[in-house]
């Protein structure tokens, strides 16, 4: 038969490969808007006559069926397209299509298939909802209401909770949901993604009383110009800002005292970008403090060891540099860097073996869950599982691939490895809070591999963080949805809750 046009035959390849698939293997891939548009145009011009378009049928299998796509991983699809299928009139398209274009079409199909799916109905008050997951039945209980864009959460030994709100408030919440505001916390720069972010307590909190915060500050000494007159729909301009790490104590009167600045970047690294600040806090077995800073929307920063942007950092609790840091003493490199090549890392968690897991946002797809090696390069700026203008490779020598990745995006934020006994079926599992995915996801870990995933819920809004209280119950921060279809800008500040997953027999 006549050889089909490349794009049309590529669609046939996908259909044949999907229909022959047997083994499920979840994966993901994503892309920038312009590349998605161009890929969609290529599909429409060459493939839609046979295979239909999103929401329509064609003579051949419709490739926008999410169930059909879920049967195969990206890697399986790529091999099928590149090598062809013997006996299915399906040639090897590796001869005519560059690898990058094959990946782009796979990504575009997954994104379009997801766009065609109905969105979950948002439940503003989930209190009392019962859920039977694969390994544990539980009930949702609302612990605290009346929060505004809750960002970070930490449990105190006396049973109270500390919760940050992005606009700049640190809240103390009692077991019965009563809430007060800690007075005198540092001023923050709140604009777009910026504000007060994570909170953590000292590993020896009972003795030291130290509480750690990550926040965004305006460039010290910077004079704000008069606010401009904005037209409807316009945003105010941004100004140079940066993630800062501080610690302090909360006295019996509920006041923030004894503040110390532990990490402040060189002032020439402050940037007016309003995105990708990070920023999560964690302590390792040696009591050292780890924190993340995003690349602030410029992917070149992630590969530059002279800037703190796009990196994980490790310092001692007093702000000094640990002797074992991989770049300490290296000319031109910041000594606090633990790993690099990160985009917007918002999740850090250690498992029982001391392994460090990290979660970061990808470019409209390609969100990553990584297992961190000190000194490791995780590729952003050079490679990505998502599609980014200027990046055409998914792997490169010396760059570490993610343990899992997602398309469509779920926007992973805070993560936690469960070590308690309240949920026997979840022991050792990795829990991932997701913003645009509006879900809490459970990942089964086997050594350095993720072997299974389950979405526990996805109806309660943007899930920002997950932790445990002193009794071993899982807590999560949720925020009313923003972004597409909500009437709210993606970075809008909206009401939020603290919820508990109450185990049931």
Are β-strands 150-155 and 161-165 bridged in parallel, bridged antiparallel, or unpaired? antiparallel
Q: Tokens 């470019």 identify what position?
A: 363
The confidence score (pLDDT) of residue 425 equals: 93
Q: Would you tell me how many other CB atoms lie within 10 Å of the CB of residue 15?
A: 21
Give rounded-to-5 percent helix, strand, coil for the chain.
15, 35, 50
Strands (E), 364-480: 367-372, 404-406, 412-417, 430-434, 439-446, 449-457, 462-468, 474-479
Per cent of the chain over pLDDT 90 is: 70
Helix (H, G, I), strand (E, B) or coil at 457: strand
The confidence score (pLDDT) of residue 241 equals: 98
* CA–CA dist 16, 3 (Å, integer): 16
Q: Tokens 């604009």 identify what position?
A: 191
Domains of the chain: 6-115 (1.10.760.10), 130-220+231-504 (2.120.10.30)
The DSSP line for 123-165 is -S--TT-EEE-SS-EEEEEEEEEEEESEEEEEE-TTS-EEEEE
- Whether the pLDDT of residue 4 is over 50: the answer is no
The confidence score (pLDDT) of residue 60 equals: 63
Residues 6+ apart with CB under 8 A from 177: 142, 143, 144, 145
Each residue's pLDDT tens digit, 194-250: 999 999 999 999 999 999 999 999 999 999 999 999 888 788 889 999 999 999 999
The radius of gyration computed from the CA coordinates of the chain, to the nearest angstrom, equals: 24
Q: Which two tokens stand for residue 499?
A: 């919820």
Q: Which two tokens stand for residue 307?
A: 């800037």
Each residue's pLDDT tens digit, 123-166: 999 999 999 999 999 999 999 999 999 999 999 999 999 999 99
* CA–CA dist 151, 123 (Å, integer): 20
Mean pLDDT, residues 84-112 taken together: 80
| Range of lowest pLDDT (100-104, 257-261, 323-327, 417-421) | 100-104
The DSSP line for 175-215 is TT--EEE-BTPPP---STT-SEEEEEE-TTHHHH--EEEEE
């Amino acid at each position: 038969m006549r050889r089909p046009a490349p794009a049309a035959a590529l669609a046939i390849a996908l259909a044949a490969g999907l229909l022959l698939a047997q083994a499920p293997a979840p994966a993901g891939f994503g892309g920038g808007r312009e590349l998605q548009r161009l890929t969609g145009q290529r599909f429409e011009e060459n493939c839609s006559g046979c295979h239909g378009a999103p929401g329509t049928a064609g003579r051949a299998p419709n490739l926008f069926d999410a169930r059909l796509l879920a049967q195969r991983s990206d890697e399986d699809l790529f091999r099928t397209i590149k090598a062809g299928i013997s006996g299915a009139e399906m040639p090897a398209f590796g001869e005519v299509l560059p690898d990058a274009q094959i990946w782009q079409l796979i990504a575009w199909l997954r994104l379009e298939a997801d766009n065609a799916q109905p969105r979950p109905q948002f439940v503003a008050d989930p209190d009392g909802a019962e859920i039977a997951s694969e390994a544990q039945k539980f009930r949702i209980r609302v612990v605290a209401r009346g929060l505004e864009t809750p960002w970070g959460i930490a449990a105190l030994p006396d049973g109270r909770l500390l919760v940050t709100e992005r606009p700049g408030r640190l809240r103390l919440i009692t077991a019965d949901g009563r809430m007060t505001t800690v007075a005198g916390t540092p001023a923050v720069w709140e604009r777009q993604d910026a504000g007060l972010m994570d909170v953590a307590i000292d590993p020896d909190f009972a003795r030291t009383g130290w509480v750690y915060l990550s926040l965004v500050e305006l460039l010290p000494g910077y004079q704000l110009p008069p606010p401009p007159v904005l037209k409807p729909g316009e945003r105010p301009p941004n100004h140079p800002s940066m993630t800062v790490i501080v610690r302090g104590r909360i006295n019996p009167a509920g006041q923030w005292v004894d503040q110390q600045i532990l990490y402040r970047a060189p002032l020439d690294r402050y940037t007016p970008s309003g995105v990708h600040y990070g920023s999560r806090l964690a302590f390792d077995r040696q009591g050292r403090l780890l924190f993340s800073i995003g690349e602030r929307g410029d992917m070149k920063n992630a590969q530059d060891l002279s800037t703190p942007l796009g990196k994980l950092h490790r310092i001692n609790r007093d702000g000094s540099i640990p002797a074992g840091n991989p770049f300490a003493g290296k000319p031109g490199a910041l000594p606090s860097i633990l790993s690099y090549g990160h985009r917007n890392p918002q999740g850090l968690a250690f498992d029982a073996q001391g392994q460090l897991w990290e979660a970061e946002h990808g470019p409209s797809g390609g969100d990553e869950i990584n297992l961190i090696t000190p000194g490791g390069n995780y590729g952003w700026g050079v490679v990505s599982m998502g599609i980014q203008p200027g990046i055409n490779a998914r792997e490169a020598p010396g760059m570490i691939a993610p343990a899992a990745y997602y398309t469509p995006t779920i926007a992973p934020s805070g993560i936690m490895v469960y070590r308690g006994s309240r949920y026997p079926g979840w022991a050792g599992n990795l829990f991932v809070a997701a913003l645009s995915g509006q879900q809490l996801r459970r990942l089964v870990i086997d050594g350095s591999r993720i072997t299974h995933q389950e979405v526990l819920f996805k109806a309660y809004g943007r899930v920002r963080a997950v932790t445990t209280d002193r009794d071993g119950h899982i807590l999560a921060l949720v925020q009313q949805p923003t972004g597409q279809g909500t009437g709210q800008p993606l970075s809008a500040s909206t009401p939020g809750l603290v919820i508990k997953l109450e185990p049931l027999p």
